[in-house]
A and B are shown apart, each in its own frame.
Chain A
């Protein structure tokens, strides 16, 4: 068992983490490359950069939008995102692992804060899942991954909380720790290939929207020729 845990903590972690990093870099490059091509093709290159930038900031820190509409849902969603980002990166136990393996360290969350934030993230995850499952509108919109992600994201948080706070037998501890690491590694692998990829490309959205309406010049005849519609009436 311990050997398997060591394998998950060592080689498997490195592999899945690299899959995530390179997967996200790939998507970011593809997205930016697509935008650069589109910009090159655009007949009008005068973009509303400033407005797109302001809207990007407003959505990355969506205080304005929480107050404006659907405050409960928005607040839960924001707290969920904060927990997802802050806890794994700034947890003392995680930072210590980085320190011993790579030799780098950074600021960490106080123990109590980490605990509260973990519980909050779990609660938000459950609330979002229930909200999706119980609303007819949301059910119609939802795909499989929309239900699976909150569950998958919940797993490392719940198991991490147990490891840090609950006294269990050593064999049970190992099992929980294994679940903790494996669930995180599954997340790493699927993250760049599903909707969670928005964690890196979402800041580009407002620029994509602005740019997408800047069409290439004179496409009429080209499309007509491809569709063999030259000279056809309207």
Chain B
């Protein structure tokens, strides 16, 4: 990764807070993102109570015990972090960030730490420490590059994930995520974008008419089909912002004779729980799985969205019966299989511009979906270039870990979070940037706009829609 830091001017712009002074005063917390008003009394005690409850009912304790034994503070993670590389601020070094929570664990939840703390009368969790955690844990884009590069094997992403979970239990979580999740789990519309069902149906009918006009083929969005093979659920924002991606997916299913359905009761795969709270994560997973059971679909298929795919892939088995749970796939896997089986045909003469591919961290970091999208792209885009580094070692778009949904930190995302990515995109000289993830696409569009890069950001199925051949 290029080791270039931001200028002082960029720093000021990136960290500029739009929050009113009276809000900061009232909430006793100076963070860039908005939070809802919460109980500000005795936060350290409430933090420790929440921490204890979480440790009691989860698996985190064994991992924390392991991490405090091996933490060597070598600092190797620093060079891997796109945020630290851009800011040069010590608080952005993954190891430093992890130590904020590990020190609380060591002091309050280990015998040695408790004895030492009592004897020396020191180390008790303070409001200032909570402030620092609330700030730095939300600077991180949860891309997990640091985790890959830790020689002793400390999972900084897991520690940040846990830190956000505990903070959210005392009311500290970005308002944008909390409000959307409340609508998804308790609101009338039942999805994070608050799309009413009639509006969804209208949108899909409109798209069907469009596709008929453009392709001359009846391409449908099947709804509530019992016993279909796949329950298809995209990030719900796709229905508002990524019509071409959805059209591409519908076209692939039509061309390949696939059996799929969208549920009208619940059609949102977004799971912000992955970013800030395991209890929310579980509730969203159960809601999604409930639809697969209602419609009796044997498989769950997630659209072009990294975090939604990873959360469903990882946590449907966790909460819905282990190996007996219905399997989860990402749409790229389906499309790849269809291409390889010869059912999907793509015209290689349609896309002539230079294209490049951005690996969404949640798909590529653990090696889940890496080569399949590349093979699809190479099947019809002749002028394809790779970014460097790429695949499992990709660089985050700068909006990962939920921060893309926090609009008030856009300048932070595009000046700091996406700095390394912007350099990568420029270096490819590509005119089309493919990013099969709703979050990445939103962030990358804002990034190319703010950084003045001449490049169009699209989903993979947007291009497939243009090149698909119906026989």
Interface residues of A (CB under 8 A from B): 27, 30-31, 34-35, 37-38, 41-46, 48, 51, 59, 62, 65, 69-70, 73-74, 77, 135-138, 140-143, 146, 195, 197-198, 201-202, 204-206, 208-209, 211-220, 222-224, 226-227, 233-234
| Contact yes or no, A59 B56, CB < 8 A | no
Nearest Cβ distance between residue B165 and chain A, in whole angstroms?
9
User: Shortest CB–CB separation between residue A64 and chain B, in angstroms?
Assistant: 11
Q: Please provide the chain B residues from 347 to 380 with a CB less than 8 Å away from any CB of chain A in the complex.
A: 366-367
Interface segment among B314-322, B330-338, B439-447: the answer is B314-322
Which of B23-52 touch A at CB < 8 Å? 49-50
A223 and B54 within 8 A (CB) = yes
**Do A220 and B80 contact each other (CB < 8 Å), given the known contacts A227-B49, A234-B185?**
no
**Chain B residue contacts of A42, Cβ below 8 A:** 59, 318
Q: Which of A46, A197, A206 contacts B323 (CB 8 A)?
A: A46
Beyond A46-B317, A138-B75, is A201–B69 a contact (Cβ under 8 Å)?
yes
Task: Determine whether the beta carbon of A197 is less than 8 Å from that of B69.
Answer: yes
Which residue of the partner chain, among A77, A197, A215, contacts B315 with CB atoms under 8 Å?
A215
A41 to B318, CA, bound (A): 10
13 additional A-B residue pairs with CB within 8 Å, beyond A38-B59, A195-B73: A41-B59, A43-B319, A46-B317, A51-B366, A59-B153, A77-B151, A146-B72, A195-B72, A208-B153, A212-B63, A215-B315, A219-B58, A223-B58
Binds A, one of B277-285, B299-307, B401-409, B423-431: B277-285
- Which residues of A are found within 8 Å of B322, using beta-carbon distances? 43-46
CB <8 Å contact, B323 and A45: yes
Residue B186 is within 8 A (CB to CB) of chain A in the complex:
yes
Contacting residue for B317 out of A43, A209, A233, CB 8 A: A43
Which 5 pairs from chain A and chain B are nearest by CB? A205-B153, A34-B62, A43-B318, A44-B317, A212-B63
Q: Which residues of B contact A34 (CB under 8 A)?
A: 61-62, 65-66
Closest B residue to A27 by CB, please name it: B69
B-side contacts of A214, CB under 8 Å: 59, 318
B182 at the binding interface (Cβ < 8 Å): yes
Closest to B90 in A: A140
User: 30 A-B residue contacts at CB 8 Å?
Assistant: A31-B69, A34-B62, A38-B63, A44-B315, A45-B323, A59-B151, A59-B153, A70-B76, A73-B76, A77-B74, A77-B151, A135-B75, A140-B93, A143-B73, A202-B153, A208-B63, A209-B63, A209-B147, A209-B153, A211-B62, A214-B318, A215-B278, A216-B57, A217-B319, A219-B57, A219-B279, A219-B282, A220-B279, A226-B53, A227-B50
Nearest CB to that of A44 among chain B residues? B317
In the docked arrangement, what's the CA distance between A44 and B282, Å? 13
User: Does B95 belong to the interface (CB within 8 Å)?
Assistant: yes
Are the CB atoms of A69 and B149 closer together than 8 Å? Answer: yes
B460 located at the interface, meaning its Cβ lies under 8 Å from any Cβ of chain A in the complex: no
Q: How far is the CB of A152 from chain B (nearest CB, A)?
A: 15
A202 near B152: Cβ-Cβ < 8 Å: yes
Assembly CA distance A197 to B58 (angstroms): 25
Cβ–Cβ < 8 Å partners of B147 in chain A? 209
Interface string of B281-316 (1 = CB under 8 A from A): 011000000000000000000000000000000110
* Known A141-B95, A143-B73, A219-B278; contact A51-B367, beta-carbon cutoff 8 A: yes
Separation of A27 and B62 alpha carbons in the complex (Å): 12
Cβ-defined partner of B80 (8 Å) among A69, A137, A204: A69
The answer to whether B57 and A234 touch across the interface, beta carbons within 8 angstroms, is no
> Bound state CA distance, A222 and B52, in angstroms?
12
Is the Cβ of A227 less than 8 Å from the Cβ of B158? no
**Chain B residues whose C-beta falls within 8 Å of the C-beta of A35 in the assembled complex:** 62, 66
The B162-197 residues at the A interface (CB cut-off 8 A) are 169, 178, 181-182, 185-186
Chain B: minimal CB distance from A225 (Å): 9
Please give, as numbers and ranges, the residues of chain B lying within 8 Å of A234 by CB-CB distance.
178, 181-182, 185-186, 280
Q: Which residues of A contact B76 (CB under 8 A)?
A: 69-70, 73-74
Of all chain A residues, which has the CB nearest B71?
A: A195
Q: Which residues of A contact B78 (CB under 8 A)?
A: 137
Partner of B75, one of A31, A137, A197: A137
Say if the beta carbon of B120 comes within 8 Å of chain A.
no
Judging by beta carbons under 8 Å apart, are A227 and B53 in contact?
Answer: yes
Of B53, B75, B99, B154, the residue contacting A223 (CB under 8 A) is: B53
Query: How many angstroms between the C-alpha atoms of A181 and B26 in the bound complex?
Result: 61
C-alpha spacing A140/B90, complex, angstroms = 7
Instruction: With a 10 A CB-CB cut-off, give which of A31, A208, A212 has the most chain B CB atoms.
Output: A212
B96 lies within 8 A of chain A by Cβ: yes
Q: Is B70 on the interface with A (CB-CB < 8 A)?
A: yes
Contact between chains at B70 and A201 (CB < 8 Å): yes
**B325: A residues at CB distance < 8 A:** 44
Across-interface contacts of A208 in B (CB, < 8 A): 62-63, 66, 153, 155
Contact assessment for B70 and A222 in the assembled complex, using a CB-CB cutoff below 8 Å: no
CA distance A70 to B80 in the complex (A): 10
